[in-house]
Amino acid sequence: MGTYKDIIISGGGIAGLTAAVAFGTAGFKVLCVDPTAPVIDRSNRGADLRTTAYLQPAHAFLQQIGLWPLLAERSAPLQIMRIVDAAGEVLVRKDFNAADISDAPFGWNLGNWDMREGLLTRLDSLPNVTFQPGVSTLGSQTRSTEARVTLSTKERVSCKMLIAADGRDSLIRRSAKIGMKRTDFGQLALSFAVN
């Protein structure tokens, strides 16, 4: 039959690791797998050099699951939000200050590599959570009371809840025959790192 966990998370990116921390903090037995190990040093090859803004509701959630104390010193508060409209003939710019609506910033900006390091540190303190980098999900079968997952280690694990955090081409989503619709909004973004 294999082993049993309350929750299996396929995907160890920021979403999957955050789910593992949240459910682990709530007392569930969690297994999180990902084919690659998270890069937590921004100077390493393959590092995700993007940053993410965690707004006030996300900040409260990260506090609740014991993660924010590991991240606070690495974050930058978002006090001013500048909106720029360059579509017309005249450049329009408007600044909004968080102090106008709250004592707290709009949110906090954090490097994705820092977030991953904080998540792994928090996971290490949760004995009911197992994270297995280098292990992937090969397939899954759902039943009325459980899901059965086959891992690349050939191990079969059963669970009450299976979470697909394995990206846009999710194997778990396809195994469950969950449809998907893509919408092109015709927008482009330029992303770059500055040293």
Q: What is the pLDDT of residue 195?
A: 65
Give pLDDT < 70 ranges for the chain.
1-2, 191-195
CA dihedral 42, 44, 45, 46 (to 10 degrees): -40
> Strand pairing of 92-97 and 80-85?
antiparallel
User: Helix, strand, coil: what percent of the chain each, to 5?
Assistant: 25, 30, 45
pTM for this model (two decimals): 0.86
Q: What is the pLDDT of residue 171?
A: 85
Longest Cα separation, the chain: 67
Q: What is the pLDDT of residue 21?
A: 98
The candidate with the shortest Cα–Cα distance to 23, out of 136, 162, 117, is: 162
Neighbours of 182 (CB within 10 A): 5
Q: How far apart are CA 38 and CA 117, in angstroms?
A: 8
Distances (CA, A) of 164 to 15, 22, 81: 10, 15, 33
Domains and CATH numbers, the chain: 3-175 (3.50.50.60)
Q: What is the pLDDT of residue 1?
A: 53
At 20 the three-state DSSP class reads: helix
Q: What is the pLDDT of residue 189?
A: 75
Identity of the residue numbered 44: N
Q: What is the DSSP string of 83-110?
A: EEE-SSSS-EEEEEEGGGT-SS-SEEEE
Q: What is the pLDDT of residue 177?
A: 82
